[in-house]
């Protein structure tokens, strides 16, 4: 006789964390991805505004016409200007290009092709290196180093991080776009080097960038389905974690981890008492008068158990103020409430 009972799918998602993360996005549009950086298992993947799958059919027309796109899985399909969270990618390219000096004398502005790039709050930092540049998120530093390094080195690093390439995953994903094409002007290269310009990323991709740094330079394949079981409970398929590719040398990952840990220790709202946290905030200017607020992080720095990417879409806030505390709550949940 025909067996009409389907198989069961066991996800890597932690239900408690998924609900907790969904509630943290209350009042925001955006996405959160949290994962285990060593094996790629996704602990939570949240996109808001959401919808009720139970009333999907009756609400279908309303949902497909809704201005805020509730059916779009922002975590895997949303493409966002990254702002300063992208600086970790530029930093990685700089560290792996030993011919480029990491020292810079910041005068508060960097002029390229008649276009002036300034630091947030018009601040001036003077003589700085990579550590300070990431800690204070110095735009001029990354614009200058991006130009000195050149488009190709930056584009190659983006490609290593899966920009322009489909991330293998169980759900449909958009492909992140590098802002370093052959057509890019110097002004566009400078802007893209600190996360503005034409660069667009998915939250999943930024969670993988963060996991790569946490995982000593190797990017894990993201995994959502743990096992597939028959209705009798037999395991039909078990997902074995695997590495997508080595992106960075272990030394580069170590340097970035140290800089990102110093950045959080300098007073970030993602800090967790008694735990070393590595992180970077981002505030991307989108359109005339609003921002995407970002935070990427992992913890503990010395033995990472969780990597997180948070984006608040068109939030008009600073990532350090709004996305950072959300990332902190997610990390705390994994570190203290997971069994």
Q: Beta-carbon neighbour count of residue 40 at 10 Å?
A: 25
Residue (of 266, 216, 260, 236) closest to 87 by Cα position = 260
Which are the contacts of 183, defined by CB distance < 8 A and separation ≥ 6?
Answer: none
Distances in whole angstroms, Cα of residue 84 to Cα of each of 127, 173, 206, 252: 20, 23, 12, 19
CA atoms of 252 and 96, how far apart (whole Å): 7
Tell me the C-alpha to C-alpha distance, in Å, between residue 206 and each of 200, 243, 307, 325: 10, 16, 10, 17
Please tell me the distance from the alpha carbon of residue 91 to that of residue 131, in angstroms, as a whole number: 10
Nearest to 209 by CA among 296, 150, 270, 295: 296
CB 238 within 8 A of CB 259: no
Place of tokens 């066991």: 10
> What distance in Å separates the CA atoms of residue 300 and residue 148, rounded to the nearest whole number?
34
What is the enclosing helix (H) or strand (E) of 8? strand 8-11
Token reading at 112:
């390229």
84 is catalytic: yes
Query: What does the alpha-carbon distance between residue 140 and residue 117 come to, in Å, rounded to a whole number?
Result: 6
The burial of 177, by beta-carbon neighbours within 10 Å (0-12 exposed, 13-18 middle, 19 or more buried), is given as middle
Output the CA–CA distances (angstroms, integers) from residue 153 to 72, 96, 148, 219, in the order listed: 33, 9, 10, 19
Query: If you ran DSSP here, which 8-state letter would residue 115 be given?
Result: E
Catalytic pick among 38, 84, 174, 176: 84
List, by residue number, the catalytic residues.
Answer: 84
């Amino acid at each position: 006789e025909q067996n009409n009972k389907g198989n069961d799918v066991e996800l890597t998602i932690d239900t408690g964390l998924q609900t907790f993360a969904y509630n943290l996005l209350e009042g925001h549009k955006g996405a959160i991805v949290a994962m285990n950086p060593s094996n790629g298992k996704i602990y939570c993947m949240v996109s808001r505004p959401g919808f009720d799958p139970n009333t999907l059919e009756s609400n279908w027309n309303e949902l497909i016409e809704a201005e805020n796109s509730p059916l779009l899985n922002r975590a895997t399909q949303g493409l966002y200007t990254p702002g300063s969270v992208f600086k970790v990618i530029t930093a990685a390219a700089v560290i792996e290009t030993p011919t480029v000096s990491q020292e810079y004398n910041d005068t508060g502005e960097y002029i390229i092709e008649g276009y002036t790039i300034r630091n947030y709050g018009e601040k001036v930092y003077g003589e700085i290196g990579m550590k300070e540049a990431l800690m204070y998120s110095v735009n001029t530093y990354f614009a200058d180093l991006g130009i000195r390094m050149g488009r190709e080195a930056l584009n190659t690093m983006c490609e290593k991080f899966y920009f322009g390439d489909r991330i293998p995953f169980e759900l449909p994903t958009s492909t992140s776009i590098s802002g370093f094409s052959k057509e890019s002007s110097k002004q566009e290269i400078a802007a893209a080097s600190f996360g503005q310009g034409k660069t667009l990323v998915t939250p999943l991709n930024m969670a993988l960038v963060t996991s790569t740094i946490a995982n000593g330079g190797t990017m894990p394949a993201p995994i959502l389905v743990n096992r597939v079981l028959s209705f009798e409970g037999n395991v039909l398929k078990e997902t074995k974690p695997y590495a997508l590719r080595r992106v960075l040398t272990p030394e580069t990952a170590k340097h970035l981890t140290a800089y990102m840990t110093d950045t959080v220790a300098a007073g970030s709202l993602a800090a967790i008492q008694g735990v070393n946290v590595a992180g970077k905030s981002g505030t991307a200017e989108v359109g005339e008068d609003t921002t995407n607020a970002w935070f990427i992080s992992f913890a503990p720095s010395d033995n990472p158990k969780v990597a997180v990417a948070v984006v608040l879409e068109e939030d008009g806030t600073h990532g350090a103020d709004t996305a950072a505390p959300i990332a902190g709550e997610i990390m705390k949940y994994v570190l203290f409430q997971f069994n």
